[in-house]
Amino acid sequence: MATATLTIDLDGVLANWRALGVFAGRGCQTGAVVKANAYGLGADRVARALMRAGAQKFFVAAAEEGAALRLAVGDGPEIYVFSGHMAGDTEMIGDLGLIPLLNSLDQVTRHFEALPGAAFGVQLDSGMNRLGMEAAEWEAVADILIGAGPRLLMSHLACADEPDHPANAAQLAEFRRLTDGVPAPRSLAATGGILLGPDYHFDVIRPGIGLYGGLPFDTATPVVRLSLPVVQSRTVVAGETVGYAGAWRAEADSQIATVAAGYADGLMRNLSGRATLWADGLPCPVVGRISMDLITVDVSHLSEVPKSLDILCPEQGVDDLADIAGTIGYEILTSLGTRYQRNYTGGSV
């Protein structure tokens, strides 16, 4: 097989979901953010495993994602749509029972006119200035919306991965100012907010990256392994170059393995000459440029050329690779390509 294998440990996802729920404690419901195809890991399989474990609230970015998720999980769970009720979404929202998190007065009008009586939530801007009603908008229609019974009032923290950042306390105070006394469930905390403590938890927490083994949940169970098959190996003699532009030159005779993956699979070109692959715990440096479909790796120190090399594994997690690439674990996960053979382990309860 000439495509890489991405192994997803569903038991690890469930362990992280339960562990983050423990932070929130009794009386707080643990939802799950499965947008962007569960951060690249397969929303259908991830959500079904979480549902069997007790998850009843899922969050997606767009109605189209919600429609696909509804087909996977059936009629039971609540599916919230962060982008709200956009033009063209009415049929999906109505037919599939999605719950838009209304972000503006335009969306309020659209939802109430097109789907009177249908479920909805409200997203409030508490200081991030990205999505959500600003205070004046909310105050103008709060009585109407509260009377209609929103399923959820939510906001999102801009700096939750920096626990001491003053924006966290400021957003918490603003969210409380806008929602205290409103008879509806409230949600402020994604993964970073969960770790800030109980003041941020309210009624529903929304873990995302922490489910999939990423920071800022630094005690998360690792969830993914990415194994790249060796397509060919060769001896490169001292002085010869490898790859495009001859970017790497062998200083001594070297054994070079070519593995099947590249920037078309989400492994960025800026990992060239910087990343490490692993063979049963032994590091093997990437040499030469990462190309669209192939990566060349120095395996001279191994006793034999392996059938595959790992780029995500216990020795190098998503945030380790992100540090090398100068990005964040979110981007590593959500960039994982469609050509990978996705294998799932665990998931039973």
Segment 286-313, tens digit of pLDDT: 999 999 999 999 999 999 999 999 999 9
Is the pLDDT at 6 greater than 70, yes or no? yes
* Inter-residue contact 43 to 90 (CB < 8 Å): no
CA dist 79 and 90 (Å) reads: 15
- Token representation of residue 175: 């969210």
Above 70 in pLDDT, residue 22? yes
Mean pLDDT, the chain, as a whole number? 96
Q: pLDDT grade, residue 66 (50/70/90)? A: very high
Q: Which residue has the tokens 């998720």?
A: 69
Residue partners of 322: CB distance under 8 A and separation at least 6: 328, 329, 331, 332
Classify 15 as helix, strand or coil: helix
In degrees to the nearest 10, what's the CA dihedral of 220, 222, 326, 283?
140
Q: Are 344 and 43 in contact (CB under 8 A)?
A: no
Q: What is the percent of the chain with per-residue pLDDT over 70, rounded to a whole number? A: 99
Whole-Å CA distances, 141 to 106, 114, 138, 203: 12, 18, 6, 23
Query: 340, 5 in Cβ contact below 8 A?
Result: yes
Task: Show me where the domains of the chain are located.
Answer: 10-212, 224-345
Q: What is the pLDDT of residues 185-203, one digit of tens each?
A: 999 999 999 999 999 999 9
Residue 27: C-alpha distances to residues 195, 198, 205 (Å): 17, 11, 11
pLDDT tens per residue, range 92-114:
999 999 999 999 999 999 999 99
Percent of the chain predicted with pLDDT > 90: 96
Q: Which CATH class is domain 10-212?
A: alpha beta
Count of H-run helices and E-run strands, the chain: 11, 19
Q: pTM value?
A: 0.95
pLDDT of residue 270: 94
C-alpha 312/C-alpha 329 separation (Å) is 11
**Identical fold, 10-212 and 224-345:** no
Task: Render pLDDT for 332-343 as a digit per residue (tens, 0 to 9).
Answer: 999 998 999 999
Which is the catalytic residue, given 39, 57, 244, 330?
244
Interatomic CA distance for residues 298 and 102, integer angstroms: 53
Residues 224-345: name the CATH superfamily: Lyase, Ornithine Decarboxylase; Chain A, domain 1 (2.40.37.10)
The pLDDT value given to residue 186? 98
Q: Strands, DSSP E only, in 151-223? A: 153-154, 186-187, 204-205
Edge-to-edge strand ranges of the sheet holding 78-81: 32-33, 57-60, 78-81, 99-102, 121-123, 153-154, 186-187
- What is the per-residue pLDDT for 1? 55
The DSSP H or E segment spanning 224 is strand 224-236
pLDDT (0 to 100) of residue 27: 85
For tokens 């979110």, name the residue. Answer: 330
Is 211 in contact with 14 (CB distance < 8 Å)?
no
Query: Mind listing the pLDDT tens digit for each residue in 217-226?
Result: 999 999 999 9
Q: Is the pLDDT of residue 347 over 90?
A: no
Residue 244 annotated in active site: yes
**Is the sign of the CA dihedral 70, 81, 49, 31 positive or negative?**
negative
Task: From the candidates 35, 200, 263, 340, give the one annotated as an active-site residue.
Answer: 35
Q: What is the mean pLDDT of residues 118-146?
A: 97
250-268: burial string, b at 16+ Cβ within 10 Å, e else: beeebbbbbbbbbbebbbb
Name residue 302's amino acid. L
